[in-house]
Structure 1
């Protein structure tokens, strides 16, 4: 484990050392609600192992990792009744935590998201965040 992995917030969540509203807990990846969501249900998907960027992720893990992103995108539509989703990642530039992560965000027409101006929202309570996480987790477990 490199120095960056030793102090990584996302590695702490994966290990259960730091709390998070977990949506997906798979052998290869973990997904949890973003604490500063664009929209409620905004989820971050991370590989369990510490890789800083997509370039660092071994090629044999790319397909399974994005398969999990696909499952999350489907859950956004089926459970949150979103019209679609926004799936994105940053590599180094604008990457707030140096651990590979994919944003999966529920979207609806005229939701106010334009270009890269992303107004953040807050959950009214920890209980509301937990409710969103539970609904999405149930959908991911059930599959398409």
Structure 2
């Protein structure tokens, strides 16, 4: 999930001067989930007001693989087996984000 440090409620509140940086960060996260987690692609989305459970701009970047069960805007929710699996995913994403983009 991509979240700006500055409080912005929706995408409409994102200042024009941050648009390029916001898209660049989305691309970095998509690359991280595909390269770092071995996903075939990514689903990128955000809600504005309706269905926005947190009143702060945030972008979902969900790893995708063929047959993963994503239907429309709903993906199957799963839990990590344990804290070690969660930490492994975090470390893989961190490594992928640190790698030079190419």
TM-score, length basis structure 2: 0.92
TM-score, length basis structure 1: 0.67
The within-5 A match list for 1:1-144 is 44-144=1-101
Structure 1 runs (4+) deviating above 2 angstroms are: 116-119
Residue 143 of structure 1 deviates from its aligned partner by: 3.0
Residue 81 of structure 1 deviates from its aligned partner by: 1.0
Question: d(CA) in 2 for partners of 1:64 and 1:72?
Answer: 12
> Any unmatched runs of 5+ in structure 1?
1-43
* More strand, by proportion: 1
> Any unmatched runs of 5+ in structure 2?
none
Which structure has more RCO (C-alpha within 8 Å, separation ≥ 6)? 2
What is the aligned-residue RMSD (CA, Å)?
1.1
Total equivalences in the alignment: 101
